[in-house]
Amino acid sequence: MVKPPVDTFEKMINFIHSQVRAKRFVENYQPVMIRLLLEKGNQSRQQIAQELWIQNNEEREQSHYHGVPVYGVLENNGIVTKNKGVTKKEDIFLLVLQNISKSEKQILLDEIESSISRQENFSKTGFLPWKEAKLAYQKIVSENNIKTQTEFQEFIKTHPLPDNLPSNPSAVYSKENILKKMDKEK
């Protein structure tokens, strides 16, 4: 299901804060694609794939980036529209957001650069080990008087966690690993 169009500066900055910056940096595809479209305007899948390839240190074959999900993800989130080309490589993507001021554009680019930089730094360091993460979560919960998992999930929607803490700990620290590590801590 396609979401409503992200056609204003406010909607775009909210998307960047809630989706791009909040992601725990598996890939940098969304901010890289948005930045390219903000800087250069409409781009083909081929041009976007080339930028993704460059920004990811040419780790994989460039052709890999033609099929990554970012195109559909941004289209389904109302960020871009697609004009179909003769071939898939020739599909043209454009931002739904139009007519923003130079200062708004710069703010968006700064936010995106920050997200890309955080992803690069995160890829070098990763999440904290469970023992340290547990203490960090306990501190956040205590300082903010959070009592339940639901309250925690609501809290992180408006208060980003440090980059080295996953927003969904059980996805990173599987139950058996948490239990094994907790047993070792006793």
Q: Are residues 110 and 143 in the same domain?
A: no
What Rg do the C-alpha atoms of the chain give, in angstroms?
Answer: 19
Q: Are residues 33 and 77 in the same domain?
A: yes
pLDDT of residue 104: 96
pTM above 0.85, yes or no: no
Per the domain annotation, does 118 fall within a domain? yes
CA distances from 46 to 29, 63, 86, 129, 170 (A): 14, 9, 13, 39, 37
Does the pLDDT of residue 8 top 90, yes or no?
Answer: yes
Confidence band, pLDDT 50/70/90 cuts, at residue 186: very low
Angle at 63 between CA 95 and CA 40, to 5 degrees: 30
Per the domain annotation, does 1 fall within a domain? no
Q: Please answer whether residues 172 and 127 qualify as being in contact, where contact means their C-beta atoms are separated by less than 8 angstroms.
A: yes
Between these two residues, 24 and 157, which has the higher pLDDT value? 157
Q: Are residues 92 and 155 in the same domain?
A: no
Per the domain annotation, does 178 fall within a domain? yes
Between these two residues, 178 and 106, which has the higher pLDDT value? 106
Per the domain annotation, does 4 fall within a domain? no
Q: Are residues 51 and 97 in the same domain?
A: yes
Q: Are residues 112 and 179 in the same domain?
A: no
Does the pLDDT of residue 178 top 70, yes or no?
Answer: no
Domain region containing 71: 9-125
Does the pLDDT of residue 20 top 90, yes or no?
Answer: no
Give me the CATH number covering residue 76.
1.10.10
Q: Which long-range contacts (CB under 8 A, 24 or more apart) does 90-93 make?
A: 90/44, 90/45, 90/46, 91/44, 91/45, 92/42, 92/43, 92/44, 93/33, 93/37, 93/42, 93/43, 93/44, 93/45, 93/48
Q: Are residues 98 and 165 in the same domain?
A: no
Instruction: Write down the residue that tokens 């339940």 correspond to.
Output: 148
Q: Are residues 110 and 135 in the same domain?
A: no
Q: Are residues 66 and 149 in the same domain?
A: no
Per the domain annotation, does 52 fall within a domain? yes
The pLDDT of 149-157, averaged and rounded, is 87
| DSSP letters spanning 163-177 | TTS-SSHHHHS-HHH
Q: Are residues 71 and 95 in the same domain?
A: yes
Q: Residue 30 corresponds to which tokens in the numbers above?
A: 């969304």
Q: Please answer whether residues 82 and 93 qualify as being in contact, where contact means their C-beta atoms are separated by less than 8 angstroms.
A: yes
Work out how many domains the chain is built from and give that number. 2
